[in-house]
Chains A and B, each alone.
Chain A
Amino acid sequence: MMTSGMFTTWFLPGIWITIQVTLYSAALAAAVAFIIGTLRTSQLWIVRFVAGTYFEIFRGTSALVLMFWMFFALPLFGWQLVPMWAGVSALGLTYGAYGSEVVRGALAAVSPAQREAGIALSFTRMQRLRRIELPQAWPEMIPPFNNLLIELLKGTALVSTITVADMLFAGNLVRLGSNESAPIYTLLLVIYFAMAWVLTRGMRALERHAKRGIGQLPEKKPGLISRKLSARGETDQAGSQVAGGMG
């Protein structure tokens, strides 16, 4: 089995690194998602075009390739990124692009009548967005955001390939040190699963809270860890189905 030394020097800090990478890249992804998603609903075609280009490019790249590129290629252009920030940027920029489709779709699903009511009360476009459209779209965004968050958590394992000492990196060290692979990889899988479960519970609570905030009752949802995928692909397509996907 694992030696206790390995466990405390590498594995426990590794868990903490995984949590940190998840939180930081989720924060970056959320910022990107809201900014790009909102810009994609702009009335100016040039703004829509630029934001849409961002979306298509980052949706098309592989997060791992982007991460490698940031880690290995950027320094040779004179930009040295700390490994963890290379990982966080790659994950945040990629999942932010998927998230922007969630935001755009949920905004598009707000009924035009609400926009008209906002115009009739002389709100500016920014006020309508901030006070009417985003608050109404927000509860609809949470379930697809939950799916993306789990994908992001799984994606954090990639940072181990660019020398960030997350828990998979630590697990690989333990394998090399002990020559036993079954216990450590099983443990890793279980921890990732447990983290996914906790995140899903949290997002569920958030969804209930958000729905109560607009006077709706959330419906009960099935599923072992209660994560429902929509019928279509979710990572790339997180969005094209947003309007219809959550029923």
Chain B
Amino acid sequence: MNKWDWSNVDDFMPRFWDGVLVTLQALAIGSLIAFSLGLVWAIAQRSTLIWIRWPVIAVTEFIRNTPLLVQLFFLFYVVPEWGPSMSPLATGIVGLGLHYSTYTAEVYRAGIEGVPAGQWEAATALSLPKTRTWTAVILPQAIRRVIPALGNYVISMLKDSPMIAVIGAFEMLGEAQAYSNETFTTEALTVVGVAFIVIAYPASLLLRALERRLVR
């Protein structure tokens, strides 16, 4: 049993690819949620209305400083008591997206603060309406610069995605764990461990290249 056996790897592969598919799904939809919700947080944090600004800051700080794993349990067991009940995978995706939206909010915030004050003043001088100022002047400049940083959080999400296995969503780790339990073997876990490095390393190289091009 403690010898490496390639036949176990072969047996595991179909389930591995199922897991990869679930992981990628979670990652794609989770990123979309994180990117859009984060932008909402970032803009709300700059609101002049204190009853918008303050609660948003409090909620995002709270979510960012507590473990995703506990939040997943909260979403899976507590929320259905008074709200919608979701499948494990849907819960996992919402949890990942919500958790990381509080990080992307910080990224956007820095990007927005990086837009020179003169841009706001120019927009005011041209009497641009507020929405127009945001969508045509500020955000296009802010977002371009933060794309690599957002990409880095996609990699972080990838590495946190195995957590959704804990509430029963069968992504890569969940599949490997199930396979190992059934067969008392370790190859599946090792395959998944290597898979993460194989995905994450080229992705981070890609981002570093992107960063050199976009951020100067």
Contact = CB atoms under 8 A, between A and B. Distances in A.
Contact of A188 (B70, B161, B173, B192): B70
A235 B156 contact: yes
B95 interface: no
Interface string B80-93: 01000000000000
B108 to A, nearest CB: 9
Determine the interface band of chain A, counting residues with CB < 8 A from chain B. 35 or more
B193 A69 contact: yes
A218 B87 CA distance: 48
A85 B37 CA distance: 37
B197 interface: yes
Given A73-B186, A181-B77, A236-B204, A192 B66 contact: yes
B141 interface: no
B65 A59 contact: no
Contacts of A232: 107, 148-149, 152
Contact of A65 (B1, B61, B162): B162
B129 interface: no
Contacts of B110: 230-231
Interface stretch (A39-47, A118-126, A153-161): A153-161
Contacts of B62: 189, 193
B81 A181 contact: yes
Contacts of A236: 152, 155-156, 159, 204
B39 interface: no
A160 B159 CA distance: 18
B17 interface: no
Interface residues of B, number: 56
B193 A155 contact: no
B67 A154 contact: yes
A161 B193 contact: no
Given A56-B201, A76-B186, A236-B155, A168 B69 contact: yes
Interface string B186-208: 10011011001100110010001
A185 interface: yes
A29 B176 CA distance: 27
A236 B207 CA distance: 12
Interface string A76-94: 1110000000000000000
Interface in A199-227: 223-225, 227
A100 to B, nearest CB: 15
> Which among B106, B173, B185, B192 has the highest number of chain A CB atoms within 10 Å?
B106
Contact of B149 (A62, A160, A233): A233
B46 to A, nearest CB: 13
Contacts of A196: 65-66
A223 B110 CA distance: 13
B2 interface: yes
A51 interface: no
B27 to A, nearest CB: 12
Nearest to A234: B103
A157 B74 CA distance: 13
Given A168-B70, A231-B149, 13 more contacts: A60-B197, A60-B201, A65-B189, A65-B196, A72-B180, A155-B67, A168-B67, A168-B73, A186-B78, A225-B65, A231-B110, A232-B148, A236-B159
11 contacts: A56-B201, A62-B160, A65-B173, A65-B193, A66-B193, A68-B176, A72-B180, A76-B1, A154-B67, A229-B107, A233-B153
